[in-house]
Structure formats: C-alpha cells, structure tokens
Chain A
C-alpha cells in the first residue's frame, strides 16, 4: 500500500464532514482538537471504535459487540 493513510489521518478526514457542526453542535476548533485517544461524544467514540477495529482486523460481529457494550445495550 503506497498511499497509506494512518488511522489518525482517516479519523481526521472523517471529522471534516459538515454533519458534526450541523447536527452534533461541534465547533471547528473543538473538532480540530479532537484526538483518537481522548474520550468524546458517542458519535466520535463509535467512529474511533470502527477505525481501530478495522485496523486491528477485528471481525465485524465483534466490532458490533464492542459497540453494544459501549452503548450499554443488553
């Protein structure tokens, strides 16, 4: 893989979506400061979980179980 975006780069690319400001009330400054390692709102946490799960080759069913656990779904 040549054009090898790191998980952090992918995360930053996703944060460029206008939905964060329009629907989730993020400011641009707050989005710029967001990192993969600090806890944040649900949507950010779910995105991080998906990226990390994919990067670590975790099966999709396991990723969903992690989401259920995070969201406290029985």
Chain B
C-alpha cells in the first residue's frame, strides 16, 4: 500500500478539546510535525485520541496505566461541554483521523453521545447516560472526491491496523518514559525481539527448521529402503537402534548445551548489568565497614572517657591522689603544733601532780615516730624520742631521716578510750601521714588527669571527623549509612555479582564438556551410519541416497545463509546505530561512546557501549540512555535493505522529557531521516516568557525546510476546569 501519511486528526468535545471537529483540527504533512504544549495543554489527550482510534484504549497518566475506552467514556468528555449541556440534551464526543496511502484516502472516526438526564452537578456521572457508541470507516480513491463507507467489520479492522501495524506500534507509537520499555537493555531478549519484529530473520530461521525436518525425513526413508534390502535384518535393526540411541543422546546433550549457554548468557547479562552498580556498591560497602569500625572505636573511647570523668570524685579521697588536701600542706604542721601544745600542757599538769616521779614522757603519738614528727625532728635537729641533739648531717639526723622515709606501716588498731585525747590526736596524725605525703604531687596528678581528658576529647573529635568524612564519601557513591535497606541491597549486589561470576565459570566448563561429548556422539553416529550403509547393500533405488545427501547439503546451506544474513544485519545495525547515535547526541559535550553489537553463540545479541579502545563505558546519563534506545530503534528501521524510512508515521508524546537541551535539536534533525512522517508532542519547545511562546529551537525549526507543520496548544490560565479549553494556533 506504500507509505502511510496522516493528513489530519480532529477532536470533538474530547477532554480539553471543547467544540466540534472544525474547532479542533490538526493538519499534517509528510516530514516532521510538531505540537508544542505546556503541561496540561492537551499533549497526552491528543495521544489518547490516537490510542482510542487505533487500540480502543486510553492512557491514564495519573494512574500510569492503560484502560479500555468503554470504561472511561465519561472521563473523556470535555468538562466545559458537560457544563454547557442542559438536562435532556446530548453532547457528542469523538476523534476523527484522515490518512492516505498511494491509492486511497481513509477516514476513521470513533465517537459516542452522552445525554444529560438529571439536573445538578454536571460532573456527577449518574446524571449522564452514554449512548450511540460508534466507529465509522470510509475510503475514497485518491482520484475521486467521494468517501464510501466501509461496513465490513474485518475490513474496518484491517484499515485501522494499517495506520500503524500492531507489531510496529511499540516502535512507532511512543509515550514518554514508555520508550524505555521498548528496548530494555537489561533484558537480552528485548533487543532480539526488536530485531525479530523489525527484520524478517525469523522467516529464515523457520526455513532452516523446515530444511532440517526434510533432511531427517529423507534420512529415515533411506534407512527404511536399506532395511528392505539388507541381507542381515537383525544386525541392521541393532545398528538402527544404536543410531537412534546416539541420536537421542545427541538431542539430550544439545538440550543441555543450550541450557548451559542460556545460563552463561543470563549470568553474563546479570554481570554486565551489575557492572554499572558493582563499583559503587563495593565502595559503599567499603565505607560502611570503615564507618562501623570507626563508630566502634569511638564508642570504646567514649566509654573510657565517661569512666574517667566518673572517677574524678574518687581522686579527692584516694590516698594515692588526696586532692581533698590541696593547698592544705601547712595545716598538718599547725595541727601537729597544736597537738604538741596540748601534750605539753597535759604533761605539765601531770608533772605538777606527780612532781617527784621520774617518768619519761614522750611527745610522740603511740606507734611513733610518725611522718610529721620526724619531719619536725629533722627541722629542729632534735630527737623527740630521747631528747638528744641530732645535728643536720649527723648519724642521728640521718637515722631520723631514714625512719621518716621508711615504707608505709600497717594501719594502727588504736582503741580510743574515753577522754584519751592524746591517743585520739595521735591517731589523726598517724592516719593522715599517707595523705600528707601526696599533697606535693596533687597538682601533678591533676595535670596528668587533665591531659588524659584532653586526649580522650581530641581522639573522639578526630574519629568523629573521620566518620563524617567517610559518610560524605559514602553519600557521594549514592549511599546512606542509616538506610538498612540500601545496605542489604548493596550486599545483594555484591553477592549477585559473585554468584554471576561463579555461574559463568561453571557454565563455561559445562559448555566445553558438552561440546566435546556432542562431537564424540556425532562421530559415533557417522560410524554407525557407515555400518548401516554397508549392511543395506546397494540393491535399493539410488534416488533415496541422492535425495538424502542433497537435502543434508540444503539444510547446511540454509543454516549458513541464516548465519550470514544475521551477521550482516548486526553489522548494518551497529553501523547505523552509531550513525544515529552520533547525530542524536552531536550537540552534547559528553562522549556517549560507541555502540557495539555482539552475537552470542545461542543467537542472541548483546549491546555494549564502549570507548575507542573497546573498554565498556558505564554510568551514562538518562538522556544518553534514551538516545541509545532511539538510535537502535532508528537503526533497526533504517537497516532494511530496500527503504531507508519507515512507511508508517511515528507518533510520540513527550519523548524528550528526560533529554538535556543538547539532545533536542539532534532528535529533531534525525527523526525525519528514519520516519517518513512524524508527529511529535513536546513541551520543551514552549517558552511562556516569549510572546509567541516558542523557544529559540522552535524558532529555528520554523525556518527549517522539511517541517510539515508546527502547532501551539495553549489553555487559558486562571480558568476553572469547567471553562478550560485548548486553544490551537498553527505556526506552520
């Protein structure tokens, strides 16, 4: 039928397209046709009109799902039309499309009528009755003026499907992010399906299967003839059984080989998909381990620090530190002097009482001499025990010093008797001597403790900084230390990557083994066939042998041809994909790499993006990823031998939503090279700050040759939903 060109599409009270068909008509020509519209100005509604016409569905962009038109009829009626329809009256809703091929022009219309049956809120579905749902298809010869209605439902269906063939719709009827689903590079069969659908390689594959079947049939007939003419039927049958057994074994081994190849490619696919995320996952895991180790260290330090702080009080009473006595070093001497005075006065009183008795009375406490008394003795150069002089440096003085510096005595178990203040004061002096000794080192111990505290604080601060740095680095690799789910996800990625590697290794070993075994079985089959041929003798019609031999060659020829065509397709695909990819991304500074198609041993195709040296590139932006898919689709379409452009129109709603500015011009330049006609709905060319609402790129496109039409869709701002209508302006 030749190239299909959509001449026009018109809407009647369909969503925001309020009014009759005449008010809402878009006329198109061959080449690039653009409808520019801001959000809410009717791009997706337009696309839904096409979906209704071709597939009886609409796409709910809020729910992100398709629905049958009959389920959403009330929803598609223009709110303004609902509001303006009085009770008892009806409003007509419809979409109409005109398209042509080389011989005919066709009209397809889908429509229904909604009658308002109750007063009240017009948006209440119960106030309406849907009736007269219909589909009209007409045709006219291009040389005639009159359209003739097509009544045959099959013929209607065929005409509707001929606008864009159902098998092609996934590649020519594109909606926003749905593009990503057309070729999902994470699924190997996705690219294969696209190649199968858009080329006829499957036909060649079917011919290969047919020729193999014919060869097997001829081989079987040949064996039957040989059996009929053999002189040794028993032996012949045995050899046939052996051959059949080998063939069974071969079939089983080939199935195992295919399964192993499949496992290998799945594992390779998985590894290849994980390759993009493995580096980041490894880094994230590394940082998480680092953070965990630092956190543990910080926790340990903080605990020790807390213990240290809690122990500060005990330093006041600990004899080893005696902080309580800080600055009280003189008080001991004062106490000792007071005690001396007390003892002296006590002794005087006693002497007065017992004047004639010659009793030696010591001024020292029991268990003396104590540290303070000895210090005083040394200072006064006098022994308080015997009353003799002990000049500094003398034997006596040195002895006193030696006694003073003696090790700590066992604690005294002094029983204090009532009113025995001598013993009481003596006990105080004796017990306090160990504290007294430490007074001089209190400042030192405080300094030591203070430096310990500072060290803890510094160490904790340093670790906190390191943790913060590690968290920032983790964040740069897309991680979050607090998110347990992400942590598990990374763990899964690493495990899956390791598993994929393991499966690849295992599968490769299996494949090598099965290939050896298959070769061995084939060689056994060949030997058995030779024996069968010898047993069969030569008394049967030679045509059987000749036919079998020729059909064997024929099946090999078909197989070789399929391989050659597939290789050629891939080669063309790679060349054309790269040509489209370069053009689509030419305005972008970043290097998008080179697309490389590789055929695997089980007739699958793997697509990689590599640099000039053939090293895989990962981490391309979303814009590049989508361009890559578009480039491949365009290449599949333009890799055909006969024509360079697709005979069916491309209709795309918001295909540029993930693109950077650098991609947009490339897209509009390249699309006409692949699609004979395209209708692109975009908001990226809309600039609300300009009087004509067009961006610079849109202005450029206006002046460009080969542009079919440019429309601007606008809705009036600050209007309620009931008053909202799409205003259509044609710029070209």
Contact = CB atoms under 8 A, between A and B. Distances in A.
Given A1-B200, A4-B200, A50 B211 contact: yes
Contact of A17 (B218, B561, B637): B561
Interface in A4-52: 4-5, 9-10, 13-14, 16-17, 19, 23, 42-43, 46-47, 50-51
B550 A42 contact: yes
B558 interface: yes
Interface string B542-569: 0110110011011011101100110001
Contact of B641 (A3, A17, A53, A60): A3
A73 B547 contact: yes
Contact of B207 (A17, A54, A64): A54
B640 interface: yes
B214 A2 contact: no
A74 interface: yes
A72 B564 contact: no
Interface in B533-548: 541, 543-544, 546-547
Contact of B560 (A17, A47, A53, A73): A17
B543 A72 contact: yes
A60 B639 CA distance: 31
The range of chain A's interface size is: 20 to 34
The range of chain B's interface size is: 35 or more
B544 A47 contact: no
A52 B213 CA distance: 16
A42 B546 CA distance: 9
Secondary structure of the B side of the interface? helix
A52 to B, nearest CB: 11
Contacts of B275: none
Nearest to A53: B210
B214 A60 contact: yes
Given A50-B214, A54-B206, A63-B214, A73 B541 contact: yes
Contacts of A71: 543, 546-547
Interface in B205-232: 206-207, 210-211, 213-214, 217-218, 221
A47 B544 CA distance: 17
A13 B565 contact: yes
A67 B210 CA distance: 13
Contact of B213 (A1, A17, A60, A68): A60
A5 B214 contact: no
A23 B553 contact: yes
Given A13-B561, A16-B564, A73 B543 contact: yes
Contacts of A67: 214, 218, 547, 551
A43 B213 contact: no
A16 B641 CA distance: 17
B635 to A, nearest CB: 12
Contact of A63 (B210, B642, B646): B210
B486 to A, nearest CB: 44
A51 B203 CA distance: 10
A12 B221 CA distance: 30
B453 interface: no
Contacts of B639: 3
A3 B197 CA distance: 9
B168 interface: yes
Contacts of B199: 2-3
Nearest to B641: A3
Contacts of A3: 198-201, 569, 639-642
A51 B564 CA distance: 18
Contacts of A64: 213-214, 217-218
B494 interface: no
A60 to B, nearest CB: 5
Interface in B319-352: none
B207 A2 contact: no
Contacts of A16: 561, 564
Contacts of B203: 1, 5, 10, 54
B554 to A, nearest CB: 6
Q: Lowest 3 A-B CB distances belong to which pairs?
A: A3-B199, A3-B640, A71-B547
Given A5-B203, A43-B554, 17 more contacts: A2-B640, A3-B198, A3-B640, A3-B642, A14-B557, A17-B561, A19-B560, A46-B547, A46-B550, A46-B551, A50-B207, A50-B554, A53-B210, A63-B210, A64-B213, A64-B218, A71-B547
14 contacts: A1-B203, A2-B646, A3-B199, A3-B569, A3-B639, A14-B557, A14-B558, A16-B564, A19-B560, A43-B550, A43-B553, A50-B211, A63-B214, A73-B544
